[in-house]
Amino acid sequence: MSDNLEKTERLIREINLIHAKYSQDYFETGKVQKVNLSRTLKNVPIEHILSYRLNLHEAINDYLLFADTKDIAFYYRVKTSESIHAKIARYLARQNQYPVNNILNDIFGARIVLPSADIALILDKLDEFKEKYGLKNWYLRDVDGYIGIHVYFKNASNFYYPWELQIWDESDALTNIQNHIAYKRDFVKQESHEPSQT
């Protein structure tokens, strides 16, 4: 097994474990109302979503500190509340409504960038990892110049917000970042055109 394949599997395992632990700590203590996230956005209070995001933002480093990932070069972020609001607005404007856990499946997002040869090995193993770790799903996203593998963690519960891991080929990294910057630029333009609430 290649070193990067082993590290990627370990990263998948550790994110899955942290997702399960954090979700249990957050949702299974009775402090927070549990909401079925397989329902549409109109049926899930925005406060529920933003409270989860804020708590995750404050707590995630405490969980990552004890993860077996210290030798793995990966990046992560917790989605901003502004980005969540924008995503919700985009989806509410659509005719078809989707489950919240299909829309807000990346409040926590991690990314690892690997050589092309390792990407091929990982693609061959992802179905096995999905089965072994009970992952929600994975797919190869190839849209408008962006190419990346997206892996989703849900721990078999419609009450837990899914998390996302992106696996990038280093040969696609620059183009992916340029696409992300262009997308975020559009997001900032949309935000600046909205009337102030004050």
pLDDT tens for each residue of 122-150 = 999 999 999 999 999 999 999 989 999 99
Provide the pLDDT confidence category of residue 198 given band limits of 50, 70 and 90.
very low
Task: Please state the pTM of the whole predicted model.
Answer: 0.90
Structural domain span for residue 101: 3-190
Q: Is residue 111 part of a domain?
A: yes
Provide the pLDDT confidence category of residue 196 given band limits of 50, 70 and 90.
very low
CA angle 99, 164, 119 (to 5 degrees): 130
- The total number of residues written for the chain in this structure: 198
Say if CB 158 and CB 37 are below 8 A apart.
yes
Q: Is residue 126 part of a domain?
A: yes
Q: Is residue 21 part of a domain?
A: yes
Q: Is residue 195 part of a domain?
A: no
C-alpha closest to that of 107 among 177, 44, 171: 44
C-alpha closest to that of 11 among 106, 171, 135: 135
Distance CA 136, CA 26 (A): 20
Q: Is residue 52 part of a domain?
A: yes
The total number of structural domains that make up the chain: 1
